[in-house]
Structure 1
């Protein structure tokens, strides 16, 4: 975790070396230096992750010390196959090769690693079946194989590894169904099988997983009913069954999964009503049952107070007692009239004071409303009403080594962002505003106001703040994979088509929420790769709301003098200062083009005569010209999946053009964009299998 550069030297003279950790530097060169470590017969720990290395793992890896316990080499641009000789390292309990470009099969000889507790091979290009030999790892706790190209069935013998706590097999091409003995893994904490081709019904024995925290079975082909006994798994916080073929009704028993924070049942064939028992899920923050066949009244109590129309779209038979859900109003049955003397008493003595009170409240609301229109609330006013953590300036100084350059993550228009650690050990990103700059204080106010009113899994999460007359900072969730700009324009990072597609969907979902899922529309005003941050699972989070505008009820366009980033702004923004959700759509269209061409809109090759939009548009009009504008290495004719990838990229470019219409009214909206991207992803995954 320094800034060392240059090649890694040979270590063959360090015969007593026990521990070598050189991770998170800027070291370069190939991996041949690993061969020199075969002379270090006492080596126990070897960590080289997150460096700009390249090449293949040498077969001499098998000659390393039999005392080696840890080998971490994630994010090192490693290519080629995993050498089977690693199976000789009999003392290994941690093997991490995640986020590389590994190809070929998972070696069966890895099964010889009887002491292995953690196997991390996620985000590579591994193919073939999951070898049954892995079941010989009798101490295996964490199994991370997601985001590869693995095929076939999930080995049934994995269900016999009672030591397993975390199983991540998502984003592969696995088929068949979930082995029945998986439900015997009673100590399992997380199960992610999303984005595969698994089918069949979910056993009611899922309820035997008493301590499980996360279950993600989304984007598969599961069918049948959702088992009501799933309610026995009361520790579940995250449950996603979206994009399957589940039918029947939502079990009423789900209301007893008391720890649920996120529940996604969207895009299935569910019918019946939304159980009122779900009103008791007091921790529920995200809820989505859109694109089903549900009917009846939407509950209004408990967490449903905070849900928006986006949670319920495309359920034609749903109704509600209020208009905010954008469904038909429920027909109220008329109750039998009261006796006349009761009615007279009510009209004469009860009704007048009620009407007076209502008039008084309306008057107060109107007065407050007028004052709010004339006065922007101060951060102090905002922070009083939200559960942000208050952090002292001294704690930030300690946690950032006095805001040292070594902790600097980046600089923006109004300040800098530092990596820091709070007093309780929490790693955070600290956005410090330079109050000497004109507009910095307003930017802090705007970002505070927006972040105090929005909450979505694809928006950066705010943890706290430090605010006084001389110093203003926001404490944000730390994103270990940095910005999308780094991944698009750095030689040491690489994203495949599916990863880019998923990031595009994440950003679209965030904008869909801001534009259509919030009480009033929020316009971000500065959508670009540097404002999109990636967490440890490469999930995208939209950040930097310093230029954002929170629209008032009924407003669709507002004027502003605030300058956004050149190249990403809509024509009407630059010429007339008009801000609307359509402007974000335009910026998003530019973002899509940049993601799949690796060209910035301000690249030297572009001018008034030839813009990024025009360059891609011309390629779309010419036969077989897409490959000429796609990012290098993303599309090659030798690839056996060339047709599927070409069709995917062409569809993305076509969608981008729909975002980039010159007239704001002709652009599509974010709801349509999300739906289109989901279809592109489904078709891409299907075509990859077919070809």
Structure 2
């Protein structure tokens, strides 16, 4: 019964269909939790509940289905841990738990599924590292662990997976080098390692992979020459963009490699004086060029950023003139929003690609500094809950960023101006996304980054309502040993921490304070600047007092009614969220 617009919950009486072998209810509108009674269907071999609105955790009752071959729960709102007992289902061939809110490590028992073919845990909040036991998945064809918080190195032993065709580890926090053993993955067709912290060279052993059709190594810290043999002859610049120091063919939009030839000759002693003379000459020329380059890079009208340098060739067709055309002359009809130092417009390129263009108002004091600050911060960071700057357009009298377009606009717009009411689950998921972005800024990079201006207008929502933190115009980079820094730039009143407003001190604690204010605003639908709040009564104290009585006094009336059949559980949920305000 897939794709039938079925709503409601799965009835617990499903246990009475005890001869069921296969259940296909994917792509519907099912709500509620997965019934415990499903565990009684001992003949069940296939269970697909993907792409519904199921909530709750995965309970151990599914582990009783000892004939289960296919388990797909992807695209729901399932949270909590992955049950370790799923590793006891040695009949499993497909396990897909992607696009949920799972927050645990990957249980070690799952690496014991020796006959698993399709293994998809992508787009959750899973953490931990990849263990050596991954080699136990001898039969696996697809592994997708992308869009999680996985750490550590990629195990060398992964090269033992001879049947592996698709490997996606993108958008994690993996580090270290790409193992040379990847060249032993003889069946590999698809490889995505993008958006990690990988460094070193791309192993030439990958040239041996005869079936390799797709590679994405972008947004890492890779260096050295891009391989040219085998399938690498067919890959484009998009496979390697935004790395540290890759070199190779001009078609890949990277710097050319410097080749050095070592020739053995019987006359090398005679050539030595000539070589020394030439070396001295080249050294002097190099010093002169370096001096000139440094002087050029110091020009204030052309800030040097990784975003500019790495994306200029890819986006060379994006000029100021084309941005004007894409936004219909920066028409008010395309205006998405205004900030302190600029405006954001929706644009559409000639090829149909939609984008957002942030144009800085350079006549305003501080606009140029804001542009430079945002360049410095955004060129360093990559995270799925941060808005991605695709490129920039900069000259003496025009500066702009080209950004991902977020079709659902800002969180403020969805909260106050849209007819579509965000329910408790939506609001909680959005705030978890913002917390994930904040955690990355504070702890996921070598130098902590303080956003300094957390508020609903700076949280943007994509087509799937995934939240992306934006606007780093007043963000600050801390030193590795620093816990705070000073600023003369004020953030938004009533959102910023007291010490930021009084003394100009910004720190991770200040961001957390602003997050707490926003958390209360999201669930009360009251701005901290609302006229009901005065010096004697703030949003924080108003919510605090309500928790001594009933949260219904302050809760957004769209969220909960007393006649709701789940009133008690929802009331307890929201109360526990608002207690985080301290």
Q: Provide TM-score, normalisation by structure 2.
A: 0.62
SS at match of 2:460: strand
Shift of 1:610: 0.5
**Structure 1, 172-181 or 535-544: larger mean CA deviation:** 172-181
| Cα deviation digits, residues 312-331 of structure 1 (max 9, x gap) | xxxxxxxxxxxxxxxxxxxx
SS at match of 1:413: coil
Specify the alignment match of 2:505 in structure 1: 578
Contact persistence 2:70–2:93 (CA under 8 A): no
Specify the alignment match of 1:647 in structure 2: 572
| Cα deviation digits, residues 395-417 of structure 1 (max 9, x gap) | 32343333333332222222221
The separation in 1 between residues aligned to 2:551 and 2:382, in whole angstroms, is 38
Confirm whether residue 183 of structure 1 aligns to residue 93 of structure 2.
yes
The separation in 2 between residues aligned to 1:377 and 1:259, in whole angstroms, is 43
SS at match of 1:606: coil
Specify the alignment match of 1:18 in structure 2: none
In the TM superposition, 1:373-384 aligns within 5 A as 378-384=302-308
Confirm whether residue 608 of structure 1 aligns to residue 535 of structure 2.
yes
Specify the alignment match of 1:477 in structure 2: 404
Match of 2:459 among 532, 535, 541: 532
In the TM superposition, 1:230-249 aligns within 5 A as 230=137, 236=143, 238-239=145-146
| Cα deviation digits, residues 154-176 of structure 1 (max 9, x gap) | 99999789xx9x95345279999
Shift of 1:533: 1.2
The separation in 1 between residues aligned to 2:115 and 2:337, in whole angstroms, is 45
Specify the alignment match of 2:521 in structure 1: 594
Shift of 1:285: 4.8
Specify the alignment match of 2:168 in structure 1: 260
Confirm whether residue 208 of structure 1 aligns to residue 131 of structure 2.
no
The separation in 2 between residues aligned to 1:478 and 1:489, in whole angstroms, is 21
Match of 1:546 among 473, 480, 491: 473
Specify the alignment match of 2:366 in structure 1: 439
The separation in 2 between residues aligned to 1:426 and 1:471, in whole angstroms, is 22
**Structure 1, 634-643 or 147-156: larger mean CA deviation:** 147-156
Match of 2:324 among 392, 397, 419: 397
With over 3 angstroms needed to count, the CA separation of the structure-2 counterparts of 1:376 and 1:641, relative to structure 1, is farther
**Structure 1, 145-154 or 570-579: larger mean CA deviation:** 145-154
The separation in 1 between residues aligned to 2:49 and 2:392, in whole angstroms, is 35
SS at match of 1:601: coil
SS at match of 2:510: helix
Specify the alignment match of 1:284 in structure 2: 193
Specify the alignment match of 1:490 in structure 2: 417
The separation in 2 between residues aligned to 1:218 and 1:260, in whole angstroms, is 16
Shift of 1:445: 1.6
The separation in 2 between residues aligned to 1:387 and 1:219, in whole angstroms, is 31
With over 3 angstroms needed to count, the CA separation of the structure-2 counterparts of 1:242 and 1:465, relative to structure 1, is closer
The separation in 2 between residues aligned to 1:584 and 1:607, in whole angstroms, is 23
Contact persistence 2:485–2:506 (CA under 8 A): yes
Confirm whether residue 386 of structure 1 aligns to residue 290 of structure 2.
no
The separation in 2 between residues aligned to 1:250 and 1:544, in whole angstroms, is 33
Which residues of structure 2 form unaligned runs of 5+?
12-23, 39-47, 183-190, 202-216, 223-290
Specify the alignment match of 1:632 in structure 2: 557
With over 3 angstroms needed to count, the CA separation of the structure-2 counterparts of 1:561 and 1:194, relative to structure 1, is closer
Contact persistence 1:489–1:598 (CA under 8 A): yes
Specify the alignment match of 1:67 in structure 2: none
With over 3 angstroms needed to count, the CA separation of the structure-2 counterparts of 1:467 and 1:590, relative to structure 1, is same
| Cα deviation digits, residues 597-642 of structure 1 (max 9, x gap) | 111100111111101011112123x2x4222112224344444444
The separation in 2 between residues aligned to 1:414 and 1:375, in whole angstroms, is 22
Shift of 1:587: 0.9
In the TM superposition, 1:515-530 aligns within 5 A as 515-530=442-457
Contact persistence 1:252–1:275 (CA under 8 A): no
Shift of 1:447: 1.0
Contact persistence 1:253–1:277 (CA under 8 A): no
SS at match of 1:448: helix
Contact persistence 1:170–1:196 (CA under 8 A): no
The aligned length equals: 455
SS at match of 1:488: helix
With over 3 angstroms needed to count, the CA separation of the structure-2 counterparts of 1:253 and 1:104, relative to structure 1, is same
SS at match of 1:168: coil
In the TM superposition, 1:162-181 aligns within 5 A as 168-171=75-78
SS at match of 1:464: strand
Which residues of structure 1 form unaligned runs of 5+?
1-86, 88-92, 107-116, 133-140, 244-248, 267-273, 289-298, 308-366, 658-691
Contact persistence 1:147–1:172 (CA under 8 A): no
With over 3 angstroms needed to count, the CA separation of the structure-2 counterparts of 1:537 and 1:411, relative to structure 1, is same
Q: CA RMSD in A?
A: 5.2
Contact persistence 1:193–1:217 (CA under 8 A): yes
SS at match of 1:492: coil
SS at match of 2:392: strand
With over 3 angstroms needed to count, the CA separation of the structure-2 counterparts of 1:586 and 1:394, relative to structure 1, is same
The separation in 1 between residues aligned to 2:321 and 2:92, in whole angstroms, is 49
Contact persistence 2:195–2:382 (CA under 8 A): no
SS at match of 2:78: coil
In the TM superposition, 1:434-473 aligns within 5 A as 434-473=361-400
Shift of 1:300: 8.0
The separation in 2 between residues aligned to 1:603 and 1:275, in whole angstroms, is 49
SS at match of 2:310: coil
Contact persistence 2:33–2:56 (CA under 8 A): yes
Specify the alignment match of 1:677 in structure 2: none
Q: Provide TM-score, normalisation by structure 1.
A: 0.53
The separation in 1 between residues aligned to 2:116 and 2:70, in whole angstroms, is 18
With over 3 angstroms needed to count, the CA separation of the structure-2 counterparts of 1:275 and 1:587, relative to structure 1, is closer
The separation in 2 between residues aligned to 1:131 and 1:490, in whole angstroms, is 42
Contact persistence 1:573–1:583 (CA under 8 A): yes
With over 3 angstroms needed to count, the CA separation of the structure-2 counterparts of 1:422 and 1:205, relative to structure 1, is farther
SS at match of 1:588: helix
With over 3 angstroms needed to count, the CA separation of the structure-2 counterparts of 1:277 and 1:412, relative to structure 1, is closer
